[in-house]
Amino acid sequence: MKKIYYILLAMLGIAFTSCQTNDITFPFSEIDASQTAEVRLLNVIPYTGNSDTLLLNGANYSSVSTAVGSYYPASAAKYFALPIGSTTISLRFAAKTTAPTVAAFKYANTMTMKAGKWSAYIYNAAQPPVLLQDADNIPSTDAWNDTVCFIKFANFFFKADGVTPYGPLTLKVRKNITGAAWETVASNIAFGTQSSDYYQYKLKNTAGTKPWSGIEPNLTLALFDAAGVVQYQQFASATTSAKGAYSSSLTAGMGKGRAYTFYLTGKEGTTNNTDQALRLNSYNPK
| 113-158 pLDDT per residue, tens | 999 999 999 999 999 999 999 987 777 777 667 788 999 999 999 9
Q: Which of 250, 142, 252, 255 is nearest to 201 (CA)?
A: 255
CA–CA distance, 165 with 231 (Å, rounded to integer): 18
Q: How many CB atoms lie within 10 A of CB 72?
A: 24
286 against 90, higher pLDDT? 90
For β-strands 116-122 and 36-43, DSSP reports them as parallel
- Examine the pLDDT at 76 and tell me if it is beyond 80: no
For β-strands 219-224 and 259-267, DSSP reports them as unpaired
Q: Residue 15, SS3?
A: helix
CA–CA distance, 256 with 251 (Å, rounded to integer): 15
Work out the percent of the chain whose per-residue pLDDT is above 70: 85
Point out the least confidently predicted range of 45-54, 104-113, 144-153, 200-209: 200-209
6 against 89, higher pLDDT? 89
Mean pLDDT of the chain: 87
Q: Residue 116, SS3?
A: strand
CA–CA distance, 1 with 144 (Å, rounded to integer): 70
Work out the percent of the chain whose per-residue pLDDT is above 90: 65
